[in-house]
Structure 1
Amino acid sequence: MIEAVGLRKVYGRKVAVDDLSFTVRPGIVTGFLGPNGSGKSTTMRMILGLDRPSAGRVLVDGIPYAQHRNPLGAVGALLDAKAVHTGRSAFRHLQAVAATAGIPASRVGEVIDMVGLREVARKRAGGFSLGMGQRLGIASALLADPSTVMFDEPVNGLDPDGILWIRNLMKHLASEGRAVFVSSHLMSEMALTADHLVVIGRGRLIADEPVQAFIDRTRPRGVTVRSPQVEQLRELVSAGGGRIAPAADGAFDVQGLSPQQIGDAAARAGVALHELTPQRASLEEAFMELTADSVEYQAHGAPEPAAWAPPVQNSPQQETAQQKVAQEVAR
């Protein structure tokens, strides 16, 4: 378990993390979200003692990470998959980590099989693809069988099969009672993987709650309605104070009324409904809406494409000059 209390980190005049408190609990996958520059990487580094907090504290299983007698068994972390000796094979890299941490050599083969690197285990890590490097980093993180795992962008470079694998792996690790803390910009994957979210912006906490609770904080969406009695539907929506507009495939978008209000009004008026579906925000939409004021690096529209112009035609004099230069070069 990870407990951050009042974390603050200042670099000169830059406040990277500001009074940040949250808890990563065992048995669930906690997603760590925030725009670029929000302080996620700095927070992860402070958890591992790589950066010293300017104020506040962070504990792993009740004590600072640096005080653990077996730190790799407390937190297995993947922060930079490139942090390997490129001249070593995957097997030798893991073997060196195991020997340094007092981990049985037999564990190396276990994690190699776990991450699917058996066929390339004897090849140099410097020749690995980005996805293979990610798998090697995950193997290193799991080498000491840690009670907490912390991954920063673990699906980078993975193909769809690899993404499904890491998703199932994180859920499996949580089901074993471990605390799983994962940072990612891939919202669709977080929606499928995370149970709980810690969301920050400009170093401050925005949300610390279950995924669905975070999504439900967004402004209300409309309701998709289908009915063969179009005019009667328009009348009952208007009478209830709502607004109705055509949508795709013959459906209607109703704003200002809940599904319950529409259903009750339709029942009273004898209007048949073939669909009554609330429009729910996705995690990506919720994230964009709730972090809009915390985006540090904002683009203000794509540059306009250059106007088309016809190719420049050389004059006869220019063509003659170019031919003379070509002849001189040929000599």
Structure 2
Amino acid sequence: MIEIDHVTKRYGEKLAVDDVSFVVRPGVVTGFLGPNGAGKSTTMRMIVGLDAPTSGRVRVNGRSYRSFEAPLHEVGALLEARAIHTGRSAYHHLLAMAQTHGIGRQRVDEVIDIVGLASVARKRAGGFSLGMGQRLGIASALLGDPQTLILDEPSNGLDPEGILWIRTLLKRLAGEGRTVFLSSHLMSEMAVTAEHLVIVGRGRVIADTTVEQVVAQASADAAVHVRAPEATALREALAAEGVHIRSAERGVLEIRGLSAERIGERAAEQGLVLYELTPQLASLEDAYMRLTADAVEYGTHSTHESLELVA
């Protein structure tokens, strides 16, 4: 378990983390989301003792990270995949780490197999691709068989097979009762990997809830897509204050202000046939963009603004 208790971090005049509190519990994959500059990396660095909080307290399994005599056995962290000696092979990089904790060569071989680097384990890590370097960083995090994993952008540089692999691995580790805490900008991947989310913006917690709840809240006012042979009659049957109906094509209605269940009931009352009745649920990306709209420190022009192309 990771406990962040009223933590604030200042760098001079810069307030990076502002009175943040949340708990990362074992048994579920917890995603850590937020715009660039939101305080995610700073928070992760404080968890593993690389930065000290200005105020507040950080605990891993009830203790400060700096109090662990053998931290690799307690916490596996991937904060910078390229933090390796480029002249060493993947095997010797892991072996050097293992020897600091009395971890045997057999475990080094095991994690190399787990991350799929057996064929290149004796090659210099400096020549690795981004994805291979990422796998080596994940192997480093797994080396001590820790109960807590903290991973920053673990899918970065991985191909589709690698992304599926890391997703499956993280879910399996959480299923074993471990604490899995990961940061990512890949919303589509986070949506199918994480069960719980902590979302931050401008150094503060914006949301601390399940993926389902975040998406459900964003979908509360979503449209319902309806196809009906008697669309005009259905429009008249549904007309009421607060109900907004738009028709983009014949026989198709986009309805806001009524649930799919209520639309179906009203259609049945009027004896109207429906060919399709589909709520247009928000994606995690939609929900995230809404939640962080006012918390983006390094923003660009809205994607909804038109761009004038000059020949």
What is the DSSP-based 3-state SS (H/G/I as helix, E as strand, rest coil) of the residue aligned with 2:294?
helix
Output the aligned Cα RMSD: 1.7
Kindly state the Cα deviation for residue 269 of structure 1 after the two structures are TM-superposed: 0.8
Give the corresponding residue for 1:33: 33
Distance 1:244 1:307, change over 3 A: closer
Quote the residue 2:130 is aligned against: 130
Is 1:267 equivalent to 2:268 in the alignment? yes
Shift of 1:69: 2.0
Instruction: Verify the 8 A CA contact 1:2 1:58 in the aligned structure 2.
Output: yes
Match of 1:296 in 2: 297
Show the 5 A alignment for 1:27-176: 27-176=27-176
Give the Å deviation of 1:268. 1.0
Query: How much does 1:19 deviate?
Result: 0.6
Change (3 A) 1:248 1:158: farther
Q: Which amino acid aligns with 1:267?
A: A
Measure, in 1, the Cα distance between the counterparts of 2:249 and 2:93: 55
Matched residue, 2:243: 242
Q: Which residue of 2 aligns with 1:232?
A: 233
Deviation string, structure 1 residues 77-130 (Cα, Å, up to 9, x no partner): 000011000000000000000001211121000000000000000000000000
1:180-221 superposed Cα distances (whole Å, 9 cap, x missing partner): 000000000000000000000001001111101112222511
Moved over 6 A (4+): 302-306
Matches within 5 A, 1:139-218: 139-218=139-218
Distance 2:310 2:248 in 1: 36
Secondary structure of 1:252's aligned partner: strand
Per the alignment, do residues 242 and 305 of structure 1 end up closer, same or farther by CA in structure 2, a change over 3 Å counting? closer
Unaligned ranges ≥5, structure 2: none
Distance 2:290 2:279 in 1: 19
Quote the residue 1:12 is aligned against. 12
Q: How far is 1:305 from its partner?
A: 7.4
CA contact (8 A) 1:237 1:243 kept: no
CA deviations over 1:247-301 (Å, ceiling 9, x no partner)? 4695320112111221121111111112211111100000000110100011126
1:304, distance to aligned residue in structure 2 (A):
6.3
Aligned partners of 1:31 and 1:194 also within 8 Å: yes
| Distance of 1:264 and 1:236 partners within structure 2 | 11
Could you say which structure has the higher helix fraction?
1
User: In structure 2, how many angstroms separate the alpha carbons of the residues matched to 1:6 and 1:254?
Assistant: 43
**Alignment partners' CA distance in 2, 1:262 and 1:149:** 46
Give, in angstroms, the shift of residue 307 of structure 1: 4.0
Cα distance per residue 1:117-152 (max 9 Å; x no partner): 000000000000000000000000000000000110
1:264/1:56 CA distance change after superposition, 3 Å: same
Contact 2:244–2:257 under 8 Å retained in 1: yes
Report the CA distance shift for 1:295/1:122 in structure 2 as closer, same or farther (over 3 A): same
| Structure 1 residues 249 and 61: alpha-carbon distance in aligned structure 2, compared to 1, 3 A threshold | farther
Query: What percentage of aligned pairs have identical amino acids?
Result: 61
Residues in 1 aligned to 2:147 and 2:37: alpha-carbon distance in whole angstroms: 29
TM-score (norm 2): 0.95
Q: In the aligned structure 1, how far is the partner of 2:294 from the partner of 2:244? A: 29
Q: Which deviates more, 242-251 or 10-19?
A: 242-251
Cα deviations by residue, 1:33-67 (Å, 9 ceiling, x for unpaired): 00000000000000001000000011000010111
Contact 1:240 1:257 in 2 (8 A): no
Amino acid in structure 2 at the alignment position of 1:40: K
Q: Distance in 2 between matches of 1:165 and 1:258?
A: 38
Separation in 1, partners of 2:117, 2:232: 63
Larger Rg: 1
Q: What is the CA–CA distance in structure 1 between the aligned matches of 2:255 and 2:308, rounded to whole Å?
A: 38
Give, in whole Å, the separation in 2 of the partners of 1:227 and 1:35. Answer: 42
Q: 2: distance between equivalents of 1:191 and 1:300?
A: 26
Contact kept? 2:247, 2:253, Cα under 8 Å: yes
